[in-house]
Structure 1
Amino acid sequence: MTLQNDHYTYRVTWSPEDEEYIGLCAEFPSLSWLAESPESALKGIRRTVELVIKDMKNNDEKIPLPIASKNYSGKFMVRVPPKVHRNLAIQAAESGVSINRLVSSRLSH
């Protein structure tokens, strides 16, 4: 499978500390790009990721898969304190739904 840098998860946000826009890539959390405009920040981080991928290929390093290319089961386990578990069970029962449905609803908001 050939990875392309435009399949990664990019985000541009304002950085109050730097007083510039910052381009970020979720799959490469150590990378960022500062620019005066959101468009330039996105262009910069995409180019940075492209260069890093080329370097990683040259060094036979494992390249992260884009989040969008991964398959998700819809399941994950979360451990909570017993008191929280009990309160969730009470709230779910009072709402007439399962704990799973209650927590899923809350996470999706």
Structure 2
Amino acid sequence: MINHKHYAYRVVWSVEDEEFVGLCAEFPSLSYLDEDHLKALEGISNLVKDIVADMEAEGEKIPTPISEKSYSGKFQVRITPERHRMLAIEAAEQDVSLNRLISDKLA
């Protein structure tokens, strides 16, 4: 059984709606609007709780919370050979590894 409280939630202001929007990263199609940011967070959390319960009842595959996944710290990115060369030169000029340079740029 998945705990709906373990999902990645956030609340942002919507200029268009003139309200706070509660969002859940694992359920990108869901949102909850409210004038109060705490109520928007509570609203999206309750909505996800209901959706998870429905999915469980129907035997559907439920997304694993991001917080419960493990990550290796590695991922592969494809870039053009020219960009690779430019980054390698930049790393050499800074006397750091290419990995360190890219990690710093991502941060």
Q: Tell me by how many angstroms 1:93 deviates.
A: 0.4
**1:8-67 Cα distance to aligned partner (Å, 9 max, x none):** 000000001100000000000000000001001001000000000011001100100110
The structure 1 segments of at least 4 consecutive aligned residues displaced by more than 6 Å after TM superposition are none
> What residue is the counterpart of 2:79 in the other structure?
80
Query: Could you tell me the percent identity over the aligned residues?
Result: 56
The DSSP-based 3-state class of the residue aligned with 1:33 is strand
Counterpart check, 1:62 vs 2:61: yes
Q: What TM-score, normalized to structure 1? A: 0.96
Alpha-carbon distance between aligned partners in 1 of 2:102 and 2:53, rounded to the nearest angstrom: 41
Counterpart check, 1:107 vs 2:106: yes
Q: Tell me by how many angstroms 1:3 deviates.
A: 1.0
Q: Tell me by how many angstroms 1:106 deviates.
A: 1.0
> What residue is the counterpart of 2:44 in the other structure?
45
Q: Tell me by how many angstroms 1:103 deviates.
A: 0.2
- The one-letter code matched in structure 1 to 2:39 is S
> What residue is the counterpart of 2:32 in the other structure?
33
> What residue is the counterpart of 1:10 in the other structure?
9
Alpha-carbon distance between aligned partners in 1 of 2:41 and 2:13, rounded to the nearest angstrom: 12
**Unaligned residue ranges in structure 2 (runs of 5+):** none
Compute the RMSD of aligned alpha carbons.
Answer: 0.6
The DSSP-based 3-state class of the residue aligned with 1:86 is helix
Q: What TM-score, normalized to structure 2? A: 0.98
Q: Tell me by how many angstroms 1:96 deviates.
A: 0.7
- The one-letter code matched in structure 2 to 1:104 is S
**Unaligned residue ranges in structure 1 (runs of 5+):** none
